[in-house]
Structure 1
């Protein structure tokens, strides 16, 4: 996870909340009702900005989960890996099988 500095406490709150909720059709963003209940139960009073941010974090997480279901989705971290050379990979695999066959003889 990248460094988030002074907002680390919000990430901690979000993890305590469970990141997302469960709906009849799958994951849903944390509802305002759930967030209000968490505030009351945990004794944490959120500012309007923190309240909105936690809900938006939950929405963004679900959007990323949905996008990640497609193979062309880039990774959510760092630079996207370079495409690999298929012919080089093919040669290495062929050589590995040849070596395996030679070892069996």
Structure 2
């Protein structure tokens, strides 16, 4: 896993069986305009087929994880999207950082001319 042999640092998983259950059901399901979160019906049908009865809290958690998966997969299409496990700033200094980066590129371009 990784591009060009680079493996990203991943956060520790404390309950891998929950992720395994989500991946067994499927992290999302097809919708009319792309992936959508798992429906309650899909979770219920999976339980019926497997012969398990999940606790209500676990069903809610799996549905929420599925919704987060779909949302993050859409956000990840943006080139500047941070990894979901990194600390995200509140964005208050984003304009300042953006201005400084723009000025640095402008200075670099002007120095080449």
Report the TM-score when normalising by structure 2: 0.63
Moved over 6 A (4+): none
1:41 aligns with 2:37: no
1:64 aligns with 2:72: yes
Deviations 1:59-85 (A, max 9, x none): 0011101111112211235579xxxxx
Structure 2 counterpart of 1:11: 19
Greater fraction of residues in helix: 1
1:2 aligns with 2:6: no
Q: Which segments of 5 or more consecutive residues in structure 2 lack a partner in the other structure?
A: 1-9, 89-104, 106-113
Report the TM-score when normalising by structure 1: 0.68
Matches of 1:71 and 1:78, distance apart in 2:
16
Structure 2 counterpart of 1:52: 60
Q: Which segments of 5 or more consecutive residues in structure 1 lack a partner in the other structure?
A: 81-85, 87-105
Question: Deviation at 1:3?
Answer: 2.6
Larger radius of gyration: 1
